[in-house]
Structure 1
Amino acid sequence: MLDTTPLLTAVERLADRLRSTPESRLRHGAAAVGLTLARELALRAQLLEFPGREPRPLPDAGLFAVADQLAVAGRDLALVVGTAPSGELDEAVALVEAAQQQL
Protein backbone atom coordinates (compact mmCIF):
# COMPACT_ATOMS: atom_id res chain seq x y z
CA MET A 1 0.00 0.00 0.00
CA LEU A 2 1.33 3.41 -0.99
CA ASP A 3 1.76 6.31 1.41
CA THR A 4 -0.82 8.84 0.24
CA THR A 5 0.31 11.56 2.66
CA PRO A 6 1.71 13.77 -0.15
CA LEU A 7 -1.66 13.78 -1.91
CA LEU A 8 -3.63 14.40 1.26
CA THR A 9 -1.29 17.19 2.32
CA ALA A 10 -1.42 18.91 -1.07
CA VAL A 11 -5.22 18.66 -1.27
CA GLU A 12 -5.74 19.97 2.27
CA ARG A 13 -3.34 22.85 1.65
CA LEU A 14 -5.21 23.87 -1.49
CA ALA A 15 -8.64 23.41 0.12
CA ASP A 16 -7.57 25.61 3.03
CA ARG A 17 -6.33 28.22 0.59
CA LEU A 18 -9.68 28.18 -1.22
CA ARG A 19 -11.54 28.47 2.08
CA SER A 20 -9.65 31.68 2.87
CA THR A 21 -9.94 33.14 -0.62
CA PRO A 22 -12.11 36.26 -0.85
CA GLU A 23 -15.42 35.91 -2.66
CA SER A 24 -14.29 38.22 -5.44
CA ARG A 25 -11.33 35.96 -6.29
CA LEU A 26 -13.55 32.88 -6.08
CA ARG A 27 -15.91 34.48 -8.60
CA HIS A 28 -13.04 35.46 -10.89
CA GLY A 29 -11.68 31.99 -11.43
CA ALA A 30 -10.38 30.49 -8.20
CA ALA A 31 -13.57 28.49 -7.61
CA ALA A 32 -13.51 27.24 -11.19
CA VAL A 33 -9.93 26.01 -10.76
CA GLY A 34 -10.91 24.21 -7.55
CA LEU A 35 -14.01 22.67 -9.06
CA THR A 36 -12.16 21.49 -12.17
CA LEU A 37 -9.57 19.81 -9.97
CA ALA A 38 -12.19 18.29 -7.66
CA ARG A 39 -14.01 16.86 -10.67
CA GLU A 40 -10.79 15.38 -12.06
CA LEU A 41 -9.85 13.80 -8.73
CA ALA A 42 -13.38 12.41 -8.32
CA LEU A 43 -13.27 11.00 -11.85
CA ARG A 44 -9.93 9.30 -11.22
CA ALA A 45 -11.18 7.85 -7.93
CA GLN A 46 -14.27 6.43 -9.57
CA LEU A 47 -12.35 4.94 -12.49
CA LEU A 48 -9.95 3.19 -10.10
CA GLU A 49 -12.60 2.03 -7.67
CA PHE A 50 -15.22 0.97 -10.21
CA PRO A 51 -13.48 0.11 -13.50
CA GLY A 52 -15.92 -0.35 -16.34
CA ARG A 53 -18.64 1.71 -14.67
CA GLU A 54 -19.62 5.11 -16.04
CA PRO A 55 -18.31 7.78 -13.62
CA ARG A 56 -20.78 10.23 -12.15
CA PRO A 57 -19.92 13.91 -12.58
CA LEU A 58 -19.29 15.97 -9.49
CA PRO A 59 -21.96 18.70 -9.34
CA ASP A 60 -21.23 22.38 -8.92
CA ALA A 61 -22.36 23.08 -5.35
CA GLY A 62 -21.38 26.74 -5.48
CA LEU A 63 -18.48 29.02 -4.69
CA PHE A 64 -18.37 28.39 -0.99
CA ALA A 65 -18.56 24.59 -1.24
CA VAL A 66 -15.73 24.08 -3.72
CA ALA A 67 -13.03 23.77 -1.05
CA ASP A 68 -14.98 21.03 0.72
CA GLN A 69 -15.71 19.28 -2.58
CA LEU A 70 -11.99 19.32 -3.32
CA ALA A 71 -11.13 17.95 0.12
CA VAL A 72 -13.64 15.10 -0.19
CA ALA A 73 -12.61 14.20 -3.74
CA GLY A 74 -8.96 14.23 -2.71
CA ARG A 75 -9.61 11.95 0.26
CA ASP A 76 -11.67 9.59 -1.89
CA LEU A 77 -8.86 9.36 -4.41
CA ALA A 78 -6.28 8.82 -1.66
CA LEU A 79 -8.28 5.85 -0.39
CA VAL A 80 -8.25 4.06 -3.73
CA VAL A 81 -4.92 5.24 -5.11
CA GLY A 82 -3.12 3.66 -2.17
CA THR A 83 -3.59 0.31 -3.87
CA ALA A 84 -3.10 1.54 -7.47
CA PRO A 85 0.16 1.79 -9.42
CA SER A 86 2.43 4.48 -8.00
CA GLY A 87 2.14 6.59 -11.15
CA GLU A 88 -1.47 7.38 -10.27
CA LEU A 89 -0.43 8.94 -6.98
CA ASP A 90 2.33 10.99 -8.58
CA GLU A 91 -0.04 12.25 -11.28
CA ALA A 92 -2.67 13.25 -8.72
CA VAL A 93 -0.13 15.20 -6.65
CA ALA A 94 1.10 16.93 -9.82
CA LEU A 95 -2.48 17.94 -10.69
CA VAL A 96 -3.00 19.48 -7.26
CA GLU A 97 0.31 21.34 -7.42
CA ALA A 98 -0.53 22.66 -10.89
CA ALA A 99 -3.88 23.96 -9.63
CA GLN A 100 -2.11 25.60 -6.70
CA GLN A 101 0.03 27.55 -9.19
CA GLN A 102 -3.11 28.81 -10.99
CA LEU A 103 -4.46 30.50 -7.88
Structure 2
Amino acid sequence: MSAIAPTVTPDRTAQVTRKPYPNYRVIVLDDDFNTFEHVATCLMKYIPGMTGDLAWKLTNQVHFEGQATVWVGPLEQAELYHQQLSRAGLTMAPLEQA
Protein backbone atom coordinates (compact mmCIF):
# COMPACT_ATOMS: atom_id res chain seq x y z
CA MET A 1 0.00 0.00 0.00
CA SER A 2 1.19 3.49 -0.73
CA ALA A 3 0.87 6.30 1.75
CA ILE A 4 -1.21 9.32 0.77
CA ALA A 5 0.55 12.63 1.36
CA PRO A 6 -1.49 15.12 3.37
CA THR A 7 -2.81 18.13 1.48
CA VAL A 8 -0.97 21.29 2.49
CA THR A 9 -2.68 24.59 1.87
CA PRO A 10 -0.52 27.69 1.83
CA ASP A 11 -1.05 30.29 4.50
CA ARG A 12 -3.40 32.77 2.84
CA THR A 13 -2.60 35.65 5.16
CA ALA A 14 0.94 35.66 3.81
CA GLN A 15 -0.37 35.91 0.25
CA VAL A 16 -2.94 38.71 0.56
CA THR A 17 -1.51 42.19 0.70
CA ARG A 18 -4.07 44.91 1.03
CA LYS A 19 -3.01 48.25 -0.30
CA PRO A 20 -5.17 51.32 0.07
CA TYR A 21 -5.98 53.24 -3.07
CA PRO A 22 -3.50 56.07 -3.53
CA ASN A 23 -4.57 59.62 -2.82
CA TYR A 24 -4.02 62.50 -5.21
CA ARG A 25 -3.32 66.18 -4.58
CA VAL A 26 -5.30 68.96 -6.24
CA ILE A 27 -2.89 71.90 -6.50
CA VAL A 28 -3.74 75.48 -7.48
CA LEU A 29 -0.91 77.55 -8.95
CA ASP A 30 -0.36 81.29 -8.75
CA ASP A 31 -1.03 83.36 -11.85
CA ASP A 32 -1.28 87.01 -12.82
CA PHE A 33 -4.96 87.17 -13.76
CA ASN A 34 -7.15 85.52 -11.09
CA THR A 35 -8.16 87.73 -8.18
CA PHE A 36 -7.96 86.60 -4.56
CA GLU A 37 -11.76 86.84 -4.43
CA HIS A 38 -12.22 84.57 -7.46
CA VAL A 39 -9.79 81.92 -6.18
CA ALA A 40 -11.36 81.85 -2.70
CA THR A 41 -14.89 81.76 -4.14
CA CYS A 42 -14.01 78.85 -6.46
CA LEU A 43 -12.46 76.88 -3.61
CA MET A 44 -15.58 77.33 -1.50
CA LYS A 45 -17.85 76.45 -4.44
CA TYR A 46 -16.09 73.30 -5.66
CA ILE A 47 -14.17 71.78 -2.73
CA PRO A 48 -16.52 70.03 -0.26
CA GLY A 49 -16.33 71.30 3.28
CA MET A 50 -14.17 74.30 2.33
CA THR A 51 -14.72 77.12 4.80
CA GLY A 52 -14.23 80.78 4.04
CA ASP A 53 -11.28 81.01 6.42
CA LEU A 54 -9.51 78.02 4.89
CA ALA A 55 -10.22 79.23 1.34
CA TRP A 56 -8.60 82.59 2.10
CA LYS A 57 -5.65 80.93 3.84
CA LEU A 58 -5.07 78.70 0.80
CA THR A 59 -5.53 81.65 -1.58
CA ASN A 60 -2.82 83.55 0.31
CA GLN A 61 -0.59 80.47 0.15
CA VAL A 62 -1.09 80.32 -3.63
CA HIS A 63 -0.13 83.98 -3.93
CA PHE A 64 2.85 84.05 -1.58
CA GLU A 65 4.27 80.53 -2.09
CA GLY A 66 3.29 79.99 -5.73
CA GLN A 67 0.95 77.06 -5.09
CA ALA A 68 -1.28 75.36 -2.55
CA THR A 69 -2.67 71.86 -2.18
CA VAL A 70 -6.40 72.49 -1.83
CA TRP A 71 -7.64 68.89 -1.59
CA VAL A 72 -6.23 65.37 -1.17
CA GLY A 73 -8.15 62.19 -1.79
CA PRO A 74 -9.15 59.45 -4.24
CA LEU A 75 -8.38 59.91 -7.93
CA GLU A 76 -11.97 60.11 -9.20
CA GLN A 77 -12.90 63.00 -6.89
CA ALA A 78 -9.52 64.66 -7.43
CA GLU A 79 -10.13 64.61 -11.19
CA LEU A 80 -13.56 66.18 -10.72
CA TYR A 81 -12.35 69.01 -8.47
CA HIS A 82 -9.33 69.61 -10.70
CA GLN A 83 -11.58 69.86 -13.76
CA GLN A 84 -14.09 72.16 -12.05
CA LEU A 85 -11.41 74.55 -10.78
CA SER A 86 -9.68 74.53 -14.16
CA ARG A 87 -12.94 75.30 -15.98
CA ALA A 88 -13.51 78.18 -13.55
CA GLY A 89 -10.25 79.66 -14.81
CA LEU A 90 -7.82 78.72 -12.05
CA THR A 91 -4.31 77.71 -13.02
CA MET A 92 -3.85 74.09 -11.98
CA ALA A 93 -0.85 71.81 -11.58
CA PRO A 94 -1.25 68.26 -12.90
CA LEU A 95 -2.68 65.86 -10.33
CA GLU A 96 0.06 64.42 -8.11
CA GLN A 97 -0.04 61.15 -6.25
CA ALA A 98 0.14 61.93 -2.55
- TM-score, with length taken from structure 2: 0.38
For the pair shown, which has the larger CA radius of gyration, 1 or 2? 2
Hey, which of these two has a bigger chunk of strand by percent? 2
Hey, which of these two has a bigger chunk of helix by percent? 1
